[in-house]
Amino acid sequence: MHKRRLGRSDLLVSRICLGSMTWGQQNSETEGHAQMDLAFARGVNAIDAAELYPIPPKAETQGRTEEIIGSWMQARGNRDKVVLASKVVGRTANEWFRGGRPSKLVRADIFDAVEKSLKRLRTDYIDLYQIHWPERDTPWGANPNRIGAVPPRADAVAAPAGETPIAETLSVFDELVKAGKIRHYGLSNESTWGLMRFTAEAGKGIGPRPVSIQNAYNLVNRTFEVNLAEACEREDVALLAYSPLAQGYLTGKYDHGARPEGSRTQLFNRGARYETPNAAEVLLEYNELARSFGMEPALFAGAFVLNRPFVASSIIGATSIAQLEVALSAADVTWTEEMQTAVDAVHQRVGNPCP
């Protein structure tokens, strides 16, 4: 599988990165190992994790995903062949991450997170360590408006009390790189302003530049294109696109209000991001468009993301081997100009219903 460089780093990642957030809850250790075996046999070389995982986050399951990845790498003896990514939580009132206190992006909390992740992953270093979300009151993904504002519109954003300055957080990542605990760092669920602040502070010599940003990008959320695509191109920051299938809503399994037994939405009721006003109609339209090209919706949606020029790698996730096979097969699809024109025509009319 073709590999792409992350920013100005020496990290070369496959076009598809294997997501892991179901391992330890929806998926067992054995199933997680089987997914990694298949993905790596198909040319994937990158795994994305987080101290938060599995999803949905709970104190009793937190960290299991990293443990499963760690046991797999130890059993296969392949740590040197894996581009391993993980994440530290942003500001949160949940106290289970830090043993009984809230967490912020300060030195004590970041170091605590790294040391625990390294132990669970059974490794001495993490290739790409990402900030899962900012301390600021800023939306998840590439959405340019505040959380809950639908349709997207400008809103006042006040800095929370005691907000950790980006320069302070960056200095911690500089220390981690110099200590050899991480090789590079990246951002996630970040805005254009946040990205530019990190690169500006790095330009002052406070710490290294981010090499990547992990934000949502799919057919019903193309907000990354508005400002972040230009900023990332000019600043040499690579996009790791998550949720290419819109949490499964672009597979067709939820069409017409269906809730299949065992699906994430049926189990956890966590589909609010893709249940916004008009979302059901737009999702169905894209799924029907895929079928008009003779393709499974999941294959079509995955191929769309993989063929965008600013996507370094698409982060896929699955709860079954059959789902994983489809997600991996998107790399083999020949994406045509006709497909792109058809997708853009729908987007021009409906915009981004699920930012």
Q: Which amino acid is at 92?
A: T
pLDDT in tens, 294-305: 999 999 999 999
DSSP SS3 for 253: coil
Q: In this predicted model, which residue has the larger pLDDT, 293 or 137?
A: 293
pLDDT (0 to 100) of residue 150: 45
35 Cβ neighbours under 8 A, 6+ residues apart: 18, 23, 27, 318, 321, 324
Count helices and strands in the chain by DSSP H and E runs? 11, 10
Q: Are 142 and 221 in contact (CB under 8 A)?
A: yes
* Statement: residue 144 has pLDDT above 70: no
* Statement: residue 148 has pLDDT above 50: no
State the number of CA atoms in the 13 A half-sphere of 202 facing the CB: 18
pLDDT (0 to 100) of residue 293: 98
Q: Are 252 and 287 in contact (CB under 8 A)?
A: yes
Q: Give dist(CA 319, CA 277) in Å, integer.
A: 28
Question: 171: closest CA among 139, 199, 121, 208?
Answer: 208
* Statement: residue 269 has pLDDT above 80: yes
**Mean pLDDT of the region 40-57:** 98
Q: How far apart are the first and last CA of the chain?
A: 30
* Statement: residue 129 has pLDDT above 50: yes
* Statement: residue 137 has pLDDT above 80: no
Which two structure tokens, joined as six digits, stand for 316? 């896929």
Which pLDDT band, with edges at 50, 70 and 90, does 145 fall under?
Answer: very low
Decide: residue 255, CB within 10 A, 0-12 exposed, 13-18 middle, 19+ buried: middle
Active-site positions?
A: 53
Q: Are 215 and 134 in contact (CB under 8 A)?
A: no
pLDDT (0 to 100) of residue 136: 86
Q: Give dist(CA 38, CA 46) in Å, integer.
A: 13
DSSP SS3 for 151: coil
**Mean pLDDT of the region 332-350:** 98
201 Cβ neighbours under 8 A, 6+ residues apart: 166, 167, 170, 207
Domains defined along the chain, listed by start: 3-153+162-350 (3.20.20.100)
What are the C-alpha distances in Å from 19 to residues 267, 319, 342?
19, 11, 29
| Mean pLDDT across the chain | 94
- Sole residue written with tokens 């059974």: 122
Q: Which amino acid is at 82?
A: V
Q: Are 280 and 269 in contact (CB under 8 A)?
A: no
pLDDT in tens, 214-244: 999 999 999 999 999 999 999 999 999 999 9
